[in-house]
Amino acid sequence: MPGRPRPANPDREHEAVSIAKRRLIEHLKHVRSATTPALADAFALTDTAVRQHLEGLESLGFVERHPGPSGGRGRPPTQWSLTDAADAFFPDRHRDFTVELLEALHSAFGDAGTEAVLAARAERQLMDYRAVFDASSSGAPASLASTVERLAHLRSDEGYDAEVRPGANGDEWVLVEHHCPVSDAARACPALCASELDLFRNALGDTVEVERTEHLLQGSRCCTYVMRVRAARST
């Protein structure tokens, strides 16, 4: 829903929510949506108290209001429901599931099967990246700086918290990824990191050299990639 407030830091906001607000979230999870009077009745609170809790949750981006079904004359009652951000309050085993799935995949199909699946995933990502690069360039040749900047935006959208910094030389740029949303999966399947390095190289093309200089899984605080224009070979 356009304009809906979203939590700047869902984990921090999650910790700040009171027990009363958590109970409202849990109740809305079960009933899907409810009016303020209905919630007040369910918790034996006043409408004003419930409304204050809901407005607090709304400001954090965890609930939203919308018109309910019309009951005849007058304005339809306001209904409250959870946003996707409220999923942070409920158990989420997607990381465990991903790791278990990769382990089962390797057990069933071995290295070759796992690599084939990762290659297919990387191919889909490559198509998506190239589509963004092509749409952004408007037909004009893009500089390495602008291409790496677009790549950083794509990676941030995927959860990697990426930024671009100038390199040591004028023809190189550094992509820094401060977070890895697939770190558990990468630990279970190191080939995942190798496929991402190949993805960058394929996305940027033969004229760009990509080197990973820091790696989270090797003890670094981030993953860092140096991207430079490949030196022309003398003939």
Return mean pLDDT, the chain: 87
Taking only Cα atoms into account, the Rg of the chain, rounded to an integer number of angstroms, comes to 24
Model confidence at 68, pLDDT cuts 50, 70, 90, reads confident
- Find, among 171, 186, 152, the residue nearest to 229 by Cα: 171
Q: Which amino acid does the sequence have at 60?
A: L
Whole-number Å distance between alpha carbons of 98 and 196: 17
162: Cα separation from own chain's centroid:
12
- In this predicted model, what pLDDT tens digit does every residue of 74-128 receive, in sequence order? 678 899 999 988 888 888 777 888 999 999 999 999 999 999 999 999 999 999 9
Average pLDDT over residues 66-70: 81
**Where do the domains of the chain lie, and which CATH numbers do they carry?**
10-89 (1.10.10.10), 94-229 (3.30.1380.20)
Confidence of residue 16 (pLDDT cuts 50, 70, 90): low
pTM over 0.75: no
Contacts 24+ apart (CB under 8 A), 222-225: 222/176, 222/177, 222/178, 223/160, 223/176, 223/177, 223/180, 224/174, 224/175, 224/176, 224/177, 225/174, 225/175, 225/177, 225/197, 225/200
